[in-house]
A and B are shown apart, each in its own frame.
Chain A
Amino acid sequence: MISIAWKSICNRWPTALLAVLAISMSVALILTVEKVRRDARNSFTQTVSGTDLIVGARSGAVQLLLYSVFRIGNATNNVSWESIEEIRERPAVDWLIPISLGDSHAGFRVLGTTDDYFTYYRYGKKQALELAEGAIFSDVFDAVIGSQVAKELGYVIGQKIVVAHGTGNAGVVEHDKQPFSVSGILRPTGTPVDRAIHVSLAGIEAMHVDWQNGASVKGAGTDADTIRKMDLQPKAVTAALVGLTSRAAVFREQRSINTYREEPLLAIMPGVALQELWGLVTVAEKALLIVSICVVVAGLVNLISVLLAGLNERRREMAVLRSAGARPIHVFLLLCIESTFLTAGGILAGLVLHYALVAVGSVYMQNRFGIAIELALPDSTDLKILMAIAIAGVLAGTLPALQAYRNSLSDGLSQRL
């Protein structure tokens, strides 16, 4: 029976191929959408761990989260250094990492911070940053680069780099009088850290010495040694990551920062802000999921129509089968087996297509958004989806099979068409 079904499909391979193609595309689409959704969430969740509060100028919680941790978008305002110092001195605060953003190098963001960044920042499962080679910055003009920066630009320790003001790739003014040099390269983390160039806060100040009111001062510019002797205490930073001595204090500290009198500040809990972010993207995710489901349904409808359309021209074939001893139930089974073959073929081809898409797409996602999409075996959710599609495909196949069953009952062994 199975071999007859297989040969019958092979005999009509062009239509069978189209049916398989339609199903495979829907399978690939729904798997890929699911995967991007999950991996994006994972990637975001992995990026910040162990940070109790993120402090920035008053704006939206999601916005602060996006620009401070994920380097998406820009800050609307800064936090004064006095406020940072005040928060750092609080008894409940264990550590504080100031972050200064706004400059870039070859499309990668430059992040001004302190040594504490390398001591306290955690990602994934509370993992600390590790140096692949070199050392943390010790000089004003030292820079520690993320693994992706090193890889894409081919930088090694000692490489001179010139930082540009602004975060775009082109049309930005370069701070070319104060070249930085790479002092260390971090190990890959799978987070936006891989795509950042870390310098000291003093370094950020240094590259802006010759700038006043956002414009370059005319002249030769100040040379590096002169700058090193200057007072490079920052007046403001973009945001700060805060770790508390006790998690129990988190609500009190958050409220205290949010009601800070000297300056309008905003403190957020990363987890809560992430939830808020998911709330926003869920709508888009659901829309995508619904579209994917529709494509799956379209694929199955196509399967039914291919089989149904084939039935009429196969009436003679069925009659021959019947006259050779096949019962109507055999005809029913034959059609069911055919649709099962087509569905199974579609699912297999869909998996292949899915992996091809992920393999190609992950490079883009990593470069564009710093989101790590990994090639992985289908997990339980994927398997559930595949099972659902397989069952739906087999069920869809019973429709034309029933029709064939009825035909063969009414046609008997008749050879007329």
Chain B
Amino acid sequence: MTETTDNIVQLDQLSFAWPGSNAAVLSIPEFTMKRSERVFLKGPSGSGKTTLLSIISAVLAPQAGTVVVDGVSLGTLRSGQKDQFRVDRIGLVFQQFNLLPFLSVRDNITLPCRFSKRRRNAALKSELKLNDEVDRLLSAMHLNPAEVQNKRVTELSVGQQQRVAVARALIGRPALVIADEPTSALDSDTRQAFIDLLFAEVDAAGSALLFVSHDATLASAFDRRVDLRDLNKASASLELQADSL
């Protein structure tokens, strides 16, 4: 497990098929992401974006090829180690429903620190107390800590909820932040503001960002734009499948 490499994500001769199916959904000869790089991954629905994210976050295992994330070769991990790897090194933001409704905003944000010592220690490195780090992240996300921290998340607007989700993904400075269509539940006015806040904090944390969306209007601000259809050599057969559905 060396972390000397400059690449945060490195895929090599990756091939993935759903169990019971021979047709590969993903076949990626090569894909790399540098540390602190912000990558916009686009592609139509059903093109395998979420599948790729699942592979990178060690939820799904490819049938062939190697996946190295933050210097860790995922194929060498047992399932328990995969869970630990994920919480230690990756912050996740989904489209919606990122938060536990019965926990306060503060408890939601500190959730990864309950399961990862690494994240907890990193969070405590930036502030002396976990609560201060929560306050800092909330302020950075343009949320008033005093106002929202003890609120139930169901009392927040969708935009606020997504910002809380970003705060949670960023606490403890994970090496990689994966955002799977985080803006699709937001209206277009708040989307750009959300992206700006996300960028600022990802930079502050020094994390790389893999951002998945089919909304190309957001793409311009990213360091690099990748279309999964160019990347995926299996996409032709997949589109045929999608058409027949």
Chain A residues at the B interface, C-beta cutoff of 8 Å: 1, 3-4, 7-8, 10-11, 316-317, 320-321, 323-330, 412-413, 415
Contact = CB atoms under 8 A, between A and B. Distances in A.
A166 B163 CA distance: 86
Given A413-B57, A413-B92, A415-B94, A327 B102 contact: no
Contacts of A329: 80
A412 B60 contact: yes
A323 B92 contact: yes
Contacts, number: 63
Given A316-B97, A412-B60, 15 more contacts: A1-B114, A4-B107, A8-B100, A11-B101, A317-B100, A320-B99, A321-B111, A324-B108, A324-B115, A325-B112, A325-B116, A327-B80, A327-B84, A412-B54, A415-B96
A228 to B, nearest CB: 84
Given A324-B115, A324-B168, A412-B60, A10 B102 contact: yes
A84 B115 CA distance: 86
A21 to B, nearest CB: 21
Contacts of A10: 102
B95 A415 contact: yes
B212 to A, nearest CB: 13
26 contacts: A4-B100, A7-B103, A7-B107, A8-B102, A11-B101, A11-B102, A317-B100, A317-B101, A320-B97, A320-B100, A321-B100, A323-B92, A323-B94, A324-B87, A324-B100, A324-B168, A325-B83, A325-B112, A325-B114, A325-B115, A325-B116, A327-B83, A327-B115, A328-B83, A330-B115, A415-B95
Nearest to B152: A11
A233 B105 CA distance: 92
Contacts of A324: 87, 92, 100, 108, 111-112, 115, 168
Contacts of A3: 107
A4 B103 contact: yes
A415 B97 contact: yes
A320 B92 CA distance: 10
Nearest to A10: B102
Interface residues of B, number: 29
B102 A325 contact: no
B98 interface: yes
A324 B97 CA distance: 12
Contacts of B98: 320, 323
Give 3 nearest A-B pairs by CB, closest first.
Answer: A325-B87, A11-B102, A325-B115
B88 to A, nearest CB: 8
B18 to A, nearest CB: 13
A316 B96 CA distance: 11
A43 to B, nearest CB: 50
Contacts of B86: 325
Nearest to B92: A323
A412 B112 CA distance: 16
A10 B107 CA distance: 15
A321 B87 CA distance: 11
B195 interface: no
Interface in B17-66: 54, 57, 59-60
Contacts of A326: 111, 115
Contacts of A328: 83
Interface in B109-158: 111-112, 114-116, 119
A323 B91 CA distance: 8
Interface string B60-93: 1000000000000000000010011011000010
A327 B101 CA distance: 19
A412 B115 CA distance: 16
Nearest to A325: B87
A325 B82 CA distance: 10
Nearest to B50: A414
Contacts of A330: 115
A329 B115 CA distance: 12
B164 to A, nearest CB: 12
B101 A412 contact: no
Nearest to A4: B103
B54 A413 contact: yes
A177 to B, nearest CB: 79
Contacts of A320: 97-100
A317 B86 CA distance: 18
Nearest to A330: B115
Interface string B191-234: 00000000000000000000000000000000000000000000
Nearest to A11: B102
Nearest to A322: B83
A328 B79 CA distance: 10
B20 to A, nearest CB: 14
A348 B210 CA distance: 51
Nearest to A3: B107
Nearest to B110: A324
A287 to B, nearest CB: 44
Contacts of B54: 412-413
